[in-house]
Amino acid sequence: MGKYWAVSKTYMKTQLVWRADVLFNMIFTVSKILFAYLLWGIIFQGRETIGGFTFHGMLSYYIISSFLLQIEKSEGISNEIHDRIRNGTFSKYMVIPVGIQKYFMAMELGVVLFYLLFDLIAAVIWILIFHIRFVFTDSLAVVGCAALMAAAGMIFMVQLNYYLGLLTLKYQGINTFLMIKNNLLALIMGSIVPLTLFPEAVINMMKALPFYYVVYLPSMLLSGKCQEEAVRGLFVIIAWCVAMQLVIYVTWNQYIRKYDGVGI
Amino acid sequence: MKHFKKNLRVLRELFYLRFHGLTVFRLDFFGPFFVDGSLFVMQLLAFGVIYSNVDTIGGWHQGEMILYIGTFSLLNAINMTLYFFGVNGIPYKVRSGELDLYLTKPVSPLFRLSFENISPGSVPLIMMSICIIAYGVHRMEAQLDAVRILEYLFWVIIMAILYYDMEVVIRSFSLYVLSMARMEQIEEAGIDLCMKLPGIAFYGVYKFIFYLLLPYGIMATLPVQSMIGDMDCMLAVYGIFVVGLFSALAHLMWKQGLKRYNSASS
């Protein structure tokens, strides 16, 4: 366990090298908030509620979901694996005495812990600048459940991106697919519009998918909604993590033999 | 005229070279179409969801919003097909000193840089955008005459020029500063916001920023406003003024920047 914590600490320190990146990442979180502020500002003119949200409730949802999205930085894992398999340097991870997937988990943990504080500061600043009457649940149990769900959601995203990266062993180039995946996830994770505005049949379908529990449900829970789904949601996302781990195990054993270490 | 003909010949050769290069990596050929196509489809779905809960957004019904998304998609498709992959490479070529090769050729360096990476794989994106626009017009149930359509096409063309100017202005910073990452982040954030948000949503300081400083806010808004008959003379003059301003700025920044270029040590 100690060696993985060392990896996490190293990645935390690495972020400090790029201090301007940290600052600009904080500043650019404003684009999502500004989008929500202007779009919903114009939509809410003459309306009290939409889909059960007040204007400030809606902005609170965007603040929380944007915060969660900002600290979820596993997208780089699939790109890293993809690039390294293609140029033959994936061997770097095979010769060091660590489990490769655990290494990426530790890396993600280090980055998340580093950005947690800065993104929290950014969220508070946007709440003050946009004069948002922040809506937040008053139940500690719900906060705990949402935090666990968000953590399990991030583990799932690391698994997913690790799995997608491994597909390079079979398909050689998956860059285009990774970009399409990002576009799709933006919608189905509820970062463009809250999923509660979708038709009920679509919401029910999404409840069976893991992405519902990564950003959307934790954000809804923290803004005081959907509390009856908290415990069930936690079990669903944990079940998805277990299932994904099995898929990774099978994929790794099946495809790693194709890796020859000389690039494509 | 002679200069124009020469540039056309160069453009044709660049296209053949690029087409040959792209067909080597066949899987990547239609990559831009699938990536950007999925982006705009998601946006259509997102606004479809919003409109299932409200009737209008800032006075625009769903038809106008679909037209807006289609228009932005069309501008993006023109950008991706003609010049994005070329202009996007400018900062790297400045840093690596590769720009030397362009300066020593008997053709305008910016012209060659802009059009050497034409992307035929993005052409289906233009077709898809036209389909979205046609669907938007159908949903609006608007009676369009030839004048309206020509007006719309005129605004699309000059906004495509503005898009190009903005890209050149931002990439020209690489001739003045060491790192371009922040400028590209600003561009990305601006486009991402205005792609989802029509100009009618901006007011006050936001309007100043997205109508003048980073005029991504007018790019698809003005063509749509011309199509739906919501454009007055002042707005038209303003639109042309902004395009003229950024064309001059792009020309100036590029020309002045080249004077500062010291090969690989830039």
A46-56 pLDDT, tens digit per residue, is: 888 998 999 99
Identify each DSSP E strand in A132-204 by its residue range: none
In total, chain B counts a number of residues equal to: 266
Do residues A239 and A97 lie in contact, with contact meaning Cβ atoms separated by under 8 Å?
A: no
Looking at CA atoms only, how far is residue B88 from chain A in angstroms? 18
Most confident of A182-186, B115-119, B157-161: B157-161
Quick check: B48 pLDDT over 70?
yes
**pLDDT at B62 exceeding the cut of 80:** yes
> Which of residues 134 through 193 in chain B touch A, CB cutoff 8 A?
181-182, 185, 189, 192-193
State pTM to two decimals: 0.90
pLDDT, averaged across chain A:
92
Say what the pLDDT of residue B27 is. Answer: 60
Q: What is the mean pLDDT of chain B?
A: 90
pLDDT at A149: 97
| Cα torsion angle, A122, A128, A132, A138, sign | positive
Contact A123, A23 (CB under 8 A): no
**Count of CB atoms situated within 10 Å of the CB of B146:** 7
Residue A34 to chain B, least CA–CA distance (Å): 8
Residue A181 has pLDDT above 70, yes or no: yes
- The stretch B39-58 carries a mean pLDDT of 93
For residues A94 and A261, which has the higher predicted lDDT (pLDDT)? A94
How far is residue A11's CA from residue A107's CA, in Å, rounded to a whole number? 6
pLDDT at A147 over 90: yes
Question: Which one, of B135, B141, B13, lies nearest residue B74 by Cα?
Answer: B135
Q: Which of A21, A34, A183 sits opposite B39 (nearest CB)?
A: A183
| pLDDT confidence tier of residue B16, bands split at 50, 70 and 90 | confident
Please name the residue of chain B whose CA is at the shortest distance from the CA of residue A188. Answer: B42
Distance from CA of A64 to the nearest CA of B (A): 19
SS3 at position B60? strand
Say yes or no to pLDDT of B266 above 60.
no
For B60, phi then psi, to 5°, come to -95, 130
* B193/B72 Cα distance (integer angstroms): 12
Record: contact B28-A47, CB cut-off 8 A: no
Average pLDDT over residues A102-122: 92
CB < 8 Å to B35, chain A:
176, 179-180, 183
Nearest to B167 by CA among B189, B192, B196, B187: B187
A179 part of contact set with chain B, CB < 8 Å: yes
- For residue A204, CA distances in Å to A186, A207, A232 come to 18, 5, 14
Closest chain A CA to residue B29: A176
Residues A42, B200: C-beta atoms closer than 8 Å: yes
3 state DSSP class of A109? helix
End-to-end CA distance of chain A: 34
User: In this prediction, what percent of chain B has a pLDDT beyond 70?
Assistant: 96
Is there a contact between A176 and B31 if contact means CB atoms under 8 Å apart?
yes
When pLDDT is cut at 50, 70 and 90, the band that residue A145 belongs to is very high
Could you tell me if B61 lies within 8 Å of chain A, comparing CB atoms?
no
Write down the pLDDT at residue B28: 67
> Rounded to the nearest 10 degrees, how much is the dihedral formed by the CA atoms of A192, B80, B242, B43?
-20
Sign of torsion over alpha carbons A78, A84, A90, A96: negative
pLDDT beyond 80 at B18: no
Tell me if B185 and A24 make a contact (CB, 8 A cut-off). yes
B182: pLDDT confidence band, cut at 50, 70 and 90?
A: confident
Mean pLDDT to the nearest integer, A250-254? 94
B24: pLDDT confidence band, cut at 50, 70 and 90? low
Please tell me which residue, A18 or A80, carries the higher pLDDT value.
A80
B213-232 residues touching A, CB cutoff 8 A: none
What values do phi and psi take at B168, rounded to 5? Answer: -65, -45
C-alpha neighbours within 13 Å on the C-beta side of residue A68: 32
Interface test with A, best of B24, B27, B52, B210 (most A CBs within 10 A): B27
The mean-pLDDT minimum among A17-21, A149-153, B130-134, B168-172 falls in: A17-21
